[in-house]
Amino acid sequence: MERIKESEKYLLELNLGGTAIGNSINASKIYIENVYEELRNITKIKELKPMNNLMSGTSSNTDFCYISSAVNILCLDMSKIATDLRFMSSGPRGGIGEISFIEMQQGSSIMPGKVNPIICETMNQIYFQVDGRNTTIYHAAESSHLELGIMLPAIADSLITMLKIVESGLRLFADRGIRKIVANKKRCFELLGKSTAYSTLLTPVLGYDTISKIVKEALLTGKTLKQIILEKKLMTEAKLEKLLILK
């Protein structure tokens, strides 16, 4: 979001008044000032102002690239989060199953009870759309000829469409995705208990070699680290639980 806020300044500086190629030929200063004043009144945006270099603003459309890039990066992050959540919700029995989403629709016509993470999948697809439009904006900005940004229509259409998609998509992802997540506590503790990852916490207490042997035994026998440690009386249950902060 900070990138988007930072890119906002590029929307507030216009090349309006530069006329054909940015040299303001046939446009008086009074006329230009009056147009900006009227535009500020219409939009209620008092920060609108002319660019310092109107010729550069007329020939180059890279300011729009800053904006589209910031939005694209935001959607990339959201898509990555959506993919992580899909992975965490996989199951309910054959996958991770640490979290669940509310049922937004019938998941399958042949598998009763199947719940698909459609809001997360929607966020993924929004990113794909945004990334494509960001690429369009880059190519259109590069294809401007000499002093004229002739590809601005493609840039404007792609950017406006992108922003509309993102606005509605992020709201949907937040309201019907993120805020509707339910943590499956029992499943989380079950997986944590079976995991060998917390062996790292035990290494300073029992030593690397000892923990390595315990991990190998756990993988071979299907027992948990906790079971083996207690069986071998290497540590009391109270001390072990306190060390692992488990309940």
Instruction: Kindly write down the DSSP assignment for every residue of the chain, as one continuous string.
Output: -HHHHHHTHHHHEE-TT-TTTTS-TT--HHHHHHHHHHHHHHH--TT-EE-S-HHHHHH--HHHHHHHHHHHHHHHHHHHHHHHHHHHT--SSSS--SEE----S---SSSTT----HHHHHHHHHHHHHHHHHHHHHHHHHT-BTTB-TTHHHHHHHHHHHHHHHHHHHHHHHHHTGGG-EE-HHHHHHHHHH-STTHHHHHHHH-HHHHHHHHHHHHHH---HHHHHHHTTSS-HHHHHHHHT--
Select which of 56, 60, 90, 108 is catalytic.
108
Does 108 qualify as catalytic in the annotation?
yes
Active site residues: 108
